[in-house]
Amino acid sequence: MPEVEHDASSYEDLTECGLSAELEEELVGTQRECVFMWTNRAGEAFGVVMSYLPKHGKLWLTAAERRKRIAAIRRFPRASVCINSTGTPIGPGRTVSYKGACVVHDDEATKDWFYPQFAHHLRPDDEVAASTFQRFLDSPHRVIIEFTPDDKLSFDAALMWARSPEVVRQPID
């Protein structure tokens, strides 16, 4: 691939269009869903939309033990996560993707802190709903995924559009 010079007169090189640290933190804290991606036994990438809880620089997710993603990350404990701003007050056009290591937890101590926080994170305005959700989560064969990012790629479309303001005459929905 030919080397591309940093040229703000085109969209060839978007390396300077990443999210600021503050906007990345806001996106991860505001959004509730991500695309969680892993490698299956055949070495192929696969992913699903999952809810997550951000905590101390990690993302915490949950699934039933019988889900294929659990066997896959036990076999090869690496995954990727993509979080997009669509549907949030931040507006569209912002995304961050992480790759990192996974640990699968099935111990009661992790479940004891995770389920209440996760339920409240997803249902912050309805204690009855959060409590009911927590009760349904706490099942015998459910596990918790601890995802620790070690690399990222982010994008802020507003920075890209700033290169060509004549293209954007009104906000993009």
Q: 15: which 2 tokens?
A: 């390396």
Give me the tens of pLDDT residue by residue for the chain, a chain 173 residues long. Answer: 445 455 556 555 556 778 999 999 999 999 999 999 999 999 999 999 999 999 999 999 999 999 999 999 999 999 999 999 999 999 999 999 999 999 999 999 999 999 999 999 999 999 999 999 999 999 999 999 999 999 999 988 887 766 666 666 656 55
DSSP string, the chain: -------TTSSS--TT-PPPHHHHHHHHHH--EEEEEEE-TTS-EEEEEEE-EEETTEEEEEEETTSHHHHHHHHS-EEEEEEE-TTSTT-SSEEEEEEEEEEEE--HHHHHHHHHHHHHHHSTT-HHHHHHHHHHH--TTEEEEEEEEEEEEEEEHHHHHTT-TTT-SS---
Is residue 66 within 8 A of residue 82, CB to CB? The reply is: no
Where in the chain are the domains?
Answer: 21-161
Rounded to whole angstroms, the Cα distance separating 149 from 33 reads: 16
Rounded to whole angstroms, the Cα distance separating 80 from 46 reads: 10
CATH architecture of the region 21-161: Roll (2.30)
Q: 164: which 2 tokens?
A: 């060509």
Q: What is the pLDDT of residue 18?
A: 86
User: Positive or negative, the Cα torsion across 155, 156, 159, 160?
Assistant: positive
